Amino acid sequence: MTASEVDTASIGRKAGRGLRWSLLGNIVNKIGSLCMGLVLARLLAPSDFGIYAIAFAATQLVMNIKDVGLIAATVQWRGKLEDMAPTATTLTALFSATLYGIFFFAAPYYSALAGIPEATPVVRLLTSIILIDGLTAVRSAALLRTFSQDKLILANMVGLVVNASIAISMAAGGAGALSFAYGQVAGVTVTGVLVFLAAKVPVRVGLDREIARKLLRFGVPLAASLGVEAVLISADAMIIGRVLGATALGYYLLAFNIAGWAQSVIGSAIRYVSVPGFSRLSEQDTATLSAGVQRSVPLLFTGLVPIAALTAALASPLVAVMYGGQWAPSATVLRFLVVLTVVRMMTSFAMDILIGAGATRSALWVNMGWAAALIPSLWVGTHVDGLRGAAIGHAVAGLLVAIPLAMLALHRAGVQLAPIAPALVRPLFAGALAAAVTVLVAQLGWPHQAVELCVAGSVGLLTYVAIAVPWDQIRRWFAVIRREEAHAVE
């Protein structure tokens, strides 16, 4: 075995361990977030969710640009961490504080632009989390860089408990949309303290101009790309809030959150390891990077298709059982937003590959092209067909613009994509058939929607697995699991 093969195998083992921790943590966190959402959906009105959606959109924007891409730059840094940490820490703290000051004064104008001026205090409170994140950004990156996802995940779990406790208590006391904000600020504060302690990066500040130039040369294009990505995420909230109002936006937010379950569990877990993993692979050569991409993309796609197909087929009983009949308008939107989920997952994965390869400018151009198509698509869709039109516009822009642009960017970065296409046909066919079977089973007249959801969903999932996954692949998976268990015992 060559040195390159040994390095690649070592990276794969570390990334695999990190991914297992990330998946476990994200599943636990998602279950906790889901339970919190179920409680809050019964304590708050749809308009409260709409106000929160505006504040959340603002937070997504400032969170993506607050560190000027320095978290990814720290993960991708080719030298010693201790050499660049003081400069990176200083830069992230300064940028976060400056950005929050700007956004604090801009919050009333932002809320008025969204058509929901009452969101201003929620925006100001929720966006303050960037101050905490700015102080801990380099520490979080250090944990990601060393594949210490276990420490990061445990810190997030503790923060979620604090978040849920405060948000639910305040919602029960009548705090409305502010309960979301206070809960998140408290949770992020606790998580930040734990990350700061776990990373064990010396507390030093400084500003080395040469290191700063290198960091910013990598990070600024990435920050711009992530800023455009935040616009992609928040554009629908701004347009729907302005055109249809806070209550309609609340229905849309609920559907968007359900559609995003896969991304928040699987996508977040993958992002914890994909950037450092692809960064290490790209250090070898483009052939090694291409091989890693060709193995991972079909696996990701195979896991995403059944989630999208079954969620679309069972949207109505899913919303009714989990959140109650008052949220029924969300179901129609959900059927189209699951298409967007697949698009966002695949494009996010492509962005991780580009970032790992150092091609941050390509990531920026992909997101800019997507945003240019998305905003008019959302505006037209919302005016023509309300919430459903907005969801359709989002999905169409992603399928027809974002996916082709991401493929082009990967090709320009030297990643060979042609071998991937045949591996995607089988999951697509299996997903279409599983959705059809699920719809047929759901129409058999079940005594309760919960029974319909469980039975139809189970039959649809079994149908998908039977067609999408070859039996020899399943046997190999079981063999790998048995080897892992044997190694654990040893």
Measuring CA to CA, which residue among 314, 215, 187, 253 is closest to residue 40? 253
pLDDT at 6: 39
Same domain for 196 and 300, yes or no, is no
Q: DSSP H helical segments within 443-470, as ranges?
A: 449-468
> Chain centroid to CA 433: how far?
28
pLDDT at 1: 42
- Enclosing domain of residue 56: 21-254
Q: Which of 198, 228, 254 is the endpoint of a domain?
A: 254
Same domain for 124 and 154, yes or no, is yes
Phi and psi torsions of 443, nearest 5°: -90, 10
Same domain for 306 and 419, yes or no, is yes
Same domain for 304 and 199, yes or no, is no
Give per-residue pLDDT as tens, 114-167: 888 888 999 999 888 888 887 887 777 777 666 666 777 788 888 888 999 999
Same domain for 445 and 479, yes or no, is yes
Same domain for 363 and 378, yes or no, is yes
CB atoms within 10 A of CB 153: 22
User: Is residue 11 in some structural domain?
Assistant: no
Same domain for 281 and 248, yes or no, is no
Same domain for 161 and 223, yes or no, is yes
Q: Is 177 helix (H, G, I), strand (E, B) or coil?
A: coil
Give per-residue pLDDT as tens, 288-344: 777 777 777 888 888 888 888 999 999 999 998 888 888 888 888 999 998 888 888
pLDDT at 389: 92
Same domain for 266 and 247, yes or no, is no
DSSP-assigned letters across all residues of 214-278: HHHHHHHHHHHHHHHHHHHHHHHHHHHHHHH-HHHHHHHHHHHHHHTHHIIIIIHHHHHHHHHHH
Where does the pLDDT of residue 4 fall: very low under 50, low under 70, confident under 90, or very high at 90 and above?
Answer: very low
Same domain for 348 and 372, yes or no, is yes
User: Is residue 2 in some structural domain?
Assistant: no
Q: Which of 224, 254, 284 is the endpoint of a domain?
A: 254
pLDDT at 256: 86
User: Is residue 8 in some structural domain?
Assistant: no
| pTM for the predicted model, two decimal places | 0.68
Same domain for 231 and 330, yes or no, is no
Measuring CA to CA, which residue among 311, 332, 306, 324 is closest to residue 259? 311
Give per-residue pLDDT as tens, 199-241: 777 677 777 777 777 777 766 666 676 667 667 777 888 888 8
The total domain count for the chain is 2
pLDDT at 341: 85
Rg of the Cα trace of the chain? Answer: 22
Query: How far apart (Å, rounded) are the C-alpha atoms in residues 225 and 228?
Result: 5
Q: Which of 193, 226, 254 is the endpoint of a domain?
A: 254
pLDDT at 168: 92
User: Is residue 9 in some structural domain?
Assistant: no
Please enumerate in sequence order all residues whose Cβ is within 8 A of that of 64, keeping only pairs 6 or more positions apart, or say none. Answer: 223, 226, 227, 229, 230
Where does the pLDDT of residue 7 fall: very low under 50, low under 70, confident under 90, or very high at 90 and above?
Answer: very low
Q: Catalogue the E-assigned strands of 305-461.
A: none
> What does the pLDDT average to over 59-78?
67
Please enumerate in sequence order all residues whose Cβ is within 8 A of that of 143, keeping only pairs 6 or more positions apart, or say none. Answer: 149, 151, 152, 195, 198, 199
Percent of the chain with pLDDT over 70: 77
pLDDT at 478: 61
With contact defined as beta carbons under 8 Å apart, do 231 and 58 qualify? no
pLDDT at 463: 92
User: Is residue 372 in some structural domain?
Assistant: yes
Same domain for 236 and 265, yes or no, is no
pLDDT at 460: 92
User: Is residue 109 in some structural domain?
Assistant: yes
pLDDT surpassing 50 at residue 8: no
4 versus 127: the higher-pLDDT residue is 127
pLDDT surpassing 50 at residue 3: no
User: Is residue 14 in some structural domain?
Assistant: no
User: Is residue 16 in some structural domain?
Assistant: no
